[in-house]
Amino acid sequence: MAETFDLILRGGQVFTPGGLVETDVGVRDGRIVRIDKLAPEQAGEVFDATGLTVLPGVIDTQVHFREPGNEHKEDLATGSAAAVAGGVTAVFEMPNTSPSTTTAAAMEDKLKRAKGRMLCDHAFFIGAADNAAELPELERMPGCCGVKIFMGSSTGSLLVEDDGALARILAAGRRRVAIHAEDEPRLKERKAIAEKSGDVADHPNWRDVESALKATQRIVALARTANRPIHVLHITTAEEMAFLAGVKDVATVEATPQHLTMAAPDCYTRMGTLAQMNPPIREARHRAALWNAVREGVVDVLGSDHAPHTREEKEKAYPGSPSGMPGVETMLPLMLSHAAAGRLSLARVVDLLCSGPQRIYNIRGKGRIALGYDADFTVVDLKARRTLTHAMMHSKVGWTPFDGMDIQGWPMATIIRGGFAMRDGELASTPQGAPVRFWDT
C-alpha cells in the first residue's frame, strides 16, 4: 500500500540541512516524514511550490505583544497575525507587560490567553526582578523560553541595574539568559541631554556608545563568574561587536533588521520619533560594523524587537515619546531584500532566522527541514517585489518605519505543524498556535 500524507509541498526549492534541493516534502500528523519526489495522489492536500523557495519556519525570538496591560497597542491575537503575515511561524514574547511576567501565575495567564487566539506557535520569557530564588523553577515551566533581564530602563517596570542583583539572578538557574544591556546609572546621568534639546536626533547621544558597551562588558564578566550562558540582545555599536567577538564562549549575540537597515541622523530627519527605539539607531559606521559582524559570524540570530506604540503616543514631544517600533511582519522581507542586494546569502538568512534560534534556545523539533521535525515552513518568492506601506500592516498600531520601501523577496505561505496560518496573504480563520517545546523544560 502506498504511503500517504496529510500535505505534500511539491515542486519547490527546499532549504534542507544540505542546502537548496528541488524536491517534495511529505507531512503527516504535523511532522516532516518524507523529503523526496512524491506523487500528488499520495496526499490529502498538495501545495504547488513551483517557482518558490521553501525555508524552515522563521522564529522571531524577541517580540513585545503588549498583553496584558496595553492591548490598545497590540495583543496576542493581532501580534500573531502580523507574525504569520510576515512568514514567522513562532515567536518568543517579552515579559515587560502589565503586570510583568515574573511569577508562575503570570506565565500561566499568558499561556491561557494565547490558547485559541494566537495564529503562530509561541513561548514567553520570565522577567528577572526580585524573584531570583524562584527563577530555577520558573525557567523550567512549559512554554517558558528563558529569563530576561533589563539592565537599562525601557518600556515597562522591569529593571535590574546593580551588579549584586544581577549576580544573584545569574546564579539562579541554568538556561541561557537574554539581556537588554544599557548601563542605567549612565543613562540617568545623561538624560539631561535629551531633556535639554528635545530633539529625537539626540537619542543616540543620550543612550550613547559607552552606556551600551559598559553594560555589555559588565554582564559578560558577571556571566563568566556565574558560569551562565547569556544572549545579548539588539547590539548596536561597533565597539560592542568587537568586544563580543572575543567572548563567544559565554555570550551569543542578536542584531535587529532595524539597526541593519537604518542609520542616524537620516532616520530621525525623515521619521522623527517613529525611528526612536532602545538601544538607538546609530550612525552609519555602526551599521557597517553590524553587517561585518553578520558576515563574520559574530551575530548568532536576528530578532525583530517588535515593540509597537500608537502613532498618537509616538508623536509626543521627545523625550516623552515612547521607544519602540513594530517589526515582526517586516523582518523576513527586509532580510530577503538584503540578500537579493548581495549583503548576505540566503543560507545566512536561514541561519539567523531559523537554525540560530533553535541552537541558542535549545528548541525541540524546529529550525530545520529534516525528518521528524515539526512541519513548519516559510514559503517565499525570492523574485517578488513589493512596496511596504502602513496600510498593509496587520499590527494593531497600523504603521511601519519602512513605509515606502521597495522590497525584493516575499512570504507566500506560513505553514505551522502542517497547517496553513497564511496563504497568498490570507490569514487562517482558526488560530492553531501552540506552546513551543524546549529540551530543558
CA nearest to 303, candidates 254, 337, 269, 349:
254
> What letter would DSSP give residue 72?
T
Q: How far apart are CA 263 and CA 259, in angstroms?
A: 7
In this structure, the dihedral spanned by the alpha carbons of residues 343, 349, 351 and 355, taken in order and rounded to 10 degrees, is: 170
> What's the gap between Cα 120 and its chain centre?
13
The catalytic residue positions are: 305
Query: Which residues are CB-contacts of 434 (< 8 A; sequence separation ≥ 6)?
Result: 121, 122, 417
> What letter would DSSP give residue 317?
P
Cell numbers found for residue 198:
528635545
Query: Amino acid letter at 172?
Result: A
Backbone angles phi, psi at 122, to 5 degrees: -160, 155
Q: How far apart are CA 94 and CA 62, in angstroms?
A: 7
Contact (CB, 8 A) for 302 and 331 = yes
Strand runs (DSSP E) across 17-132, as ranges?
19-28, 31-36, 43-48, 53-56, 58-63, 88-93, 121-127
Q: How far apart are CA 74 and CA 292, in angstroms?
A: 34
